[in-house]
Amino acid sequence: MEKILLATRNKDKIAEIKEILKDLDIQLLTAYDFPKLPEVIEDRSTIAGNAIKKATESANFSGFPTLADDTGLFVNALNDAPGVYSARYAGENCSYKDNRLKLLQEMNNITEREAEFRTVVAFAFPGKLIATAEGKVLGKITRKEIGANGFGYDAIFRAIETGKTFGEMTREEKEKISHRGRAFQKIIKVIKSEPRIDTDQ
């Protein structure tokens, strides 16, 4: 069975992505299988740039086909902030909760609450970027936290398509419409078409 590295140490992402890829006949490794895998500095100006950097550097280090995703929450009224800086919006080493509270605070007097989650996933072989895929979902920033599921900004993002926050959705419900679910559904097609990765064995 072909091994693919998912280049992240984020356990919330790992849980979601394992579920999304569960029907692929692959063995999914993570950064926890490579204790010496260098932490990739996310210093590119776009989520695509960061995803490509993480996937290519981790593929080169590990020697395995590698997937890496980068996600941002882009809020219209804040000129697309926090965007590429979503992880450290409230400062270096801040918690998910710090980020949510900062965003609610910034949006305090703002009535236009439209926002978009975007994920770019990159797929690389050692020495070669194979493909990138993007997934997006539109929503609105709530006025308070609603729902205890998910992670990150999930409790304050109400998806237009369901009228529920990601914090109120089960993992399966979120996966069907989420930025990450959509990006990975596209990359699954690429993985299945790669001759070096035999997903039927």
Residues of this chain that interact with ligand IMP (CB under 6 A) are 10, 69-71, 86-87, 96, 99, 150-154, 166, 180
In this structure, what DSSP letter does residue 145 have? -
User: In terms of CB distance, is 3 or 171 closer to ligand IMP?
Assistant: 171
Supply the minimum distance, in Å, between the C-beta of residue 80 and ligand IMP: 14
Supply the minimum distance, in Å, between the C-beta of residue 154 and ligand IMP: 4
Supply the minimum distance, in Å, between the C-beta of residue 114 and ligand IMP: 16
Q: Active-site residue 33, yes or no?
A: no
Tell me the two tokens of residue 47: 């989520």
User: In terms of CB distance, is 87 or 191 closer to ligand IMP?
Assistant: 87
**CA dihedral of 66, 116, 98, 109, whole degrees rounded to 10:** 170
User: In terms of CB distance, is 56 or 99 closer to ligand IMP?
Assistant: 99
The amino acid at residue 58 is S
Residue nearest to ligand IMP (CB): 152
Q: Which residues have CB under 8 Å from 55's CB, separation 6+?
A: 7, 66, 67, 68, 122, 123, 124, 129
For the four alpha carbons of 11, 17, 22 and 27, in that order, the dihedral sign comes to negative
Which residue is catalytic, options 70, 98, 154, 198? 70
Q: Which residues are catalytic?
A: 70
